[in-house]
Amino acid sequence: MLQGVRRFFDQDVEVKKRFYTRDHTKPVIYNSNFDLFTSPSANWRDTFISFMAPSPPPPEELPEVCRDIQIEYSKEVMKLGRVLFQLISEALKLNPNYLGDLDCDKALAFAGHCYPACPQPDLTMGATKHTDDGFITVLLQDEIGGLQILHDQQWVDVPPTPGALVVNIGDLLQMISNDKLKSVEHRVVANEKGPRVSVACFFSTSLAPSTKVYGPIKELVSNENHRVPRNHRL
Ligand SMILES: O=C(O)CCC(=O)C(=O)O
Ligand SMILES: [Fe+2]
């Protein structure tokens, strides 16, 4: 999969610019700094994004150099997601199908990132400090490294392990778990070595307008840890 992402970014600008857009209704959204106009600072990173579930784009709309692997990889991540949400449900002492029944495992956004080699890495960030806003993120990173999480006010490296995936809890899962699970703050430092590539698959809500309301799961709200419900319509 990482080779497929490298193949996408290695293409000629003339080929890539066909996908260049900030319009989220397009099947592939390729740009530098998808949050350029809302973020306080820019990232040293380019990204292409597609929404692969529940309604994937027609295969011919995906970049030819990585479409087969992108489709296959996304299917495997969906299968993994079903198991992860069962395990997380059990960890929360809920019925194993609980989070699946809430559709936490139904919508997937695929992001292929490229962090170019940076001549002055101490002057910028690959990705500035943030939390992911969905339920969970399944992350595949190459061997270069740079991902860090904030733990006890200290930045801790998440070193790349060949064949391993990193799973992050996101804001929505923190909210519905009534803060039992924490959405981890993380960032990516820039590097003189590169390009670094990674794939972040976000289990989130579908982009389609929905009347579904998510709030803290009632079984997880007791008298001791009661909080003002923060229901979110998505
Ligand atoms: O590239 C990485 O290692 C992290 C990417 C990330 O945090 C994100 O896409 O939200
Ligand atoms: Fe992230």
Question: Of all atoms in ligand 1, which is nearest to the CA of residue 113?
Answer: 1
Report the C-alpha gap between 44 and 31 in whole angstroms: 12
9-60 pLDDT, tens digit each: 999 999 999 999 999 999 999 999 888 888 888 899 999 999 999 999 999 9
82-131 pLDDT, tens digit each: 999 999 999 999 999 999 999 999 999 999 999 999 999 999 999 999 99
pTM for this model (two decimals): 0.94
Neighbours of ion ligand 2 (CB under 5 A): 132
Q: Decide whether any atom of ligand 1 lies within 6 Å of the 198 Cβ.
A: yes
Q: Ligand 1 test: best mutation among 39, 147, 149, 156, most atoms within 8 Å of CB?
A: 147
Side-chain-side CA neighbours of 147 within 13 Å: the count stands at 23
150-182 pLDDT, tens digit each: 999 999 999 999 999 999 999 999 999 999 999
This complex has an ipTM of 0.99
Provide the 10 A C-beta neighbour count for residue 68: 12
Pick the ligand that lies closest to the CA of residue 140.
1
Place of tokens 């397009």: 26
Are 134 and 155 contacting, i.e. CB atoms less than 8 angstroms apart? no
Q: Decide whether any atom of ligand 1 lies within 6 Å of the 139 Cβ.
A: yes
Are 136 and 173 contacting, i.e. CB atoms less than 8 angstroms apart? yes
